[in-house]
Structure 1
């Protein structure tokens, strides 16, 4: 009996060690990833969820193709923003302030702040509404709590610890893939919608298209990633701005590139599933008018079951917890750099009071929007449209920066990346221009 006990225990011990080893490898993998993974996850914020839900409910599977088209464009332009940070050792707003007229930096930062504050208010409100659906109680109180917790976390936790927390929270996005497993998916319609573009020049279609591009290629992500790449660079003892140490480019850029492309892939895969979920459940049953992410979750409940509703709602809260610090942080980085203030989530409060004040004020104004006549929950979709419009001039300036020797020194952006960046800029311009033309 003793021998059998020993032999039966050995596999369990080996299995436990194997499980521990896999967790250890996963932890090491996440630790090695650059800021791009968090940037990608933040792209699927409650505003994005609302946009994708509305697109799925209104147009069914016919706009799934946008996720294939936007991936190389969004990954390419995000890599360029990260590249600017790594090459110069300065964030986007700091570079614009140093090398362009004050009107340029002031205008672009103003665009960013307006879009970000509306986005913050909408995201925080959506999180409060989602928690109300799950637990009952006052949505406005929950919104205040989410906003305050996000500000305190950004101030209290050291940057490295905070960044690791944000990386792990990206796993919550997979609840939308889980939702797809418990609803009926018509495979033929999905394949047609994914690989055969369905185009329309109606006002509603072009607005939706602008919103999709605006929530996948968002200005706040450019400013955030450039600045946190600089922070990561400074936190590494031997790393320097690449224009001063071009020999470090292969090592620095490879890590930056892998995190960026993986993060953007995660973002678009999840967005694909959100459109898929709402198209399969809501559009298929004639429910085409969805205004908010919380409304989409509530509509799923009687049609797809309690589990689908719960997963969708948890995803809204989880993605909001990732997006709020990114939205507020990008605002703080941009405005503080424009004002020549000390910046950085790695700094203590006493050494970056202005930076943290901007972060806190932007977040709290977002919370306050939920108490005004402006309903930030209904602004979710339109915040994506505003991002789409604001992205165009910012992307143009970014692309011009990559060819300015005063900014990049002797380091050159690869030709392929330059082509992808300009194509992304042109596509954003064409979509935004088309929407404006239909409105006029």
Structure 2
């Protein structure tokens, strides 16, 4: 099999990894680069194996069982806890959608010169319309093509003057010297290991099963296991690598420009784009703005979709982007709710960073028990059969759970 064929096999993992670099994540990475230069690049190397482990566990559950993550969580956790976690996920995702839509509107207004709220509403309606009208098999291809916009941030690195010695030092030598760096590390972990990604990737593996008649859940088709597990590993390792390379590019680009110029007060992704213009020129500004819009178009449907999969999964309702709206009414109602309420968030008198802070708190609270439940599910033979997680997957999955527990505590200890 050639490398082009291998690239075609990329799917749920690639889209999940790309959605991780949403406008909210761009804001976090931009803050890290602007405030601390190359000093926190090491966080992406640290996070990579943890991201791979939890996303691979999520994908494995969907592919092996043919069912979503939320439904299986009820088998290993009290129902009241699962319902509470899904409610937190819905809250956090809706706030995140609002922040992402606002960033997309701001970035467009910066380029055009006006129309922030008009662009925000327009992007919201476009993403909602696509999810309501296009079946999964076509929509998945749109999302995969949208991941190409992330190359804009890699290109940015080649437009600015980078101190590669400092970059290598920051990448391979971990360092935390002050409280604000701790807060930023927690924010980085929160935006890279987030509950909505777990639900989305598991659900996408289930969606992929429905696209090929001969493809069955691995518990019912042992002969498909070798190829399926190899494809999931390639997809997840590759998707998370794309996510982290882009995050590194954003941190490195803002370190080489904004930090070097003393512009450290970055409150949003649009702020970073605006600050880049006088420092790095119109081309860098345009690339950064294009990236915000493109990643937002990718991330908003993923955020809304993950909420819908979780809500319907926990209640046992039909949930598929392949269904028409009248066939999965609650599923599409949750998607519409998340996006339309996200528009309202853009109009509220609250700063985008404050909104993202509370979103991060909700995600941090939800991530720990969801990760614990995820690892219990993927390790339980009654659910997974012979396809329980490997010892290495369990080790890194539980390390990720422990790290996110520390991060959640740090969110409380260092609230701002």
Class of the TM-score when normalised by the shorter of the 2 chains: over 0.9
Structure 1 unaligned runs (5+)?
1-21
Is the CA contact (8 Å cut-off) linking 2:77 and 2:373 kept in structure 1? no
Is the CA contact (8 Å cut-off) linking 2:380 and 2:388 kept in structure 1? no
> Counterpart of 1:143?
120
> Take 1:273 and 1:381, find their aligned partners in 2: how far apart are those partners?
23
Is the CA contact (8 Å cut-off) linking 1:64 and 1:194 kept in structure 2? yes
Tell whether 2:59 aligns with 1:86: no
Structure 1 210/386 Cα, relative in aligned 2: closer, same or farther at 3 Å? farther
Is the CA contact (8 Å cut-off) linking 2:104 and 2:292 kept in structure 1? yes
> Counterpart of 2:341?
365
Alignment of 1:149-164 (within 5 A): 149-164=126-141
Q: What TM-score do the two structures reach when normalised by structure 1? A: 0.91
Deviations 1:384-440 (A, max 9, x none): 454334311110111111222332233221111111111111111123223423459
Structure 1 155/98 Cα, relative in aligned 2: closer, same or farther at 3 Å? farther
Correspondence for 1:405 among 351, 375, 381: 381
Q: What TM-score do the two structures reach when normalised by structure 2? A: 0.96
> Counterpart of 2:100?
123
Structure 1 162/359 Cα, relative in aligned 2: closer, same or farther at 3 Å? same
> Take 1:73 and 1:200, find their aligned partners in 2: how far apart are those partners?
24
Tell whether 2:116 aligns with 1:105: no
SS of 1:235's equivalent in the other structure is coil
> Take 1:71 and 1:92, find their aligned partners in 2: how far apart are those partners?
22
Is the CA contact (8 Å cut-off) linking 1:93 and 1:223 kept in structure 2? yes
Deviation at 1:33, TM superposition (A): 1.6
Structure 1 68/385 Cα, relative in aligned 2: closer, same or farther at 3 Å? farther
Alignment of 1:17-416 (within 5 A): 30-200=7-177, 202=179, 204-376=180-352, 378-380=354-356, 383-384=359-360, 386-416=362-392
> Take 1:365 and 1:161, find their aligned partners in 2: how far apart are those partners?
26
Aligned length: 415
Structure 1 30/137 Cα, relative in aligned 2: closer, same or farther at 3 Å? farther
Deviation at 1:378, TM superposition (A): 4.8
Deviation at 1:383, TM superposition (A): 3.1
Bigger mean CA deviation after superposition, 88-97 or 141-150: 88-97
Structure 1 206/212 Cα, relative in aligned 2: closer, same or farther at 3 Å? same
> Take 2:352 and 2:358, find their aligned partners in 1: how far apart are those partners?
10
RMSD (CA atoms): 1.8
> Take 2:410 and 2:18, find their aligned partners in 1: how far apart are those partners?
28
Bigger Rg, structure 1 or 2: 1
Deviations 1:243-263 (A, max 9, x none): 233332111111122111111
Deviation at 1:234, TM superposition (A): 2.4
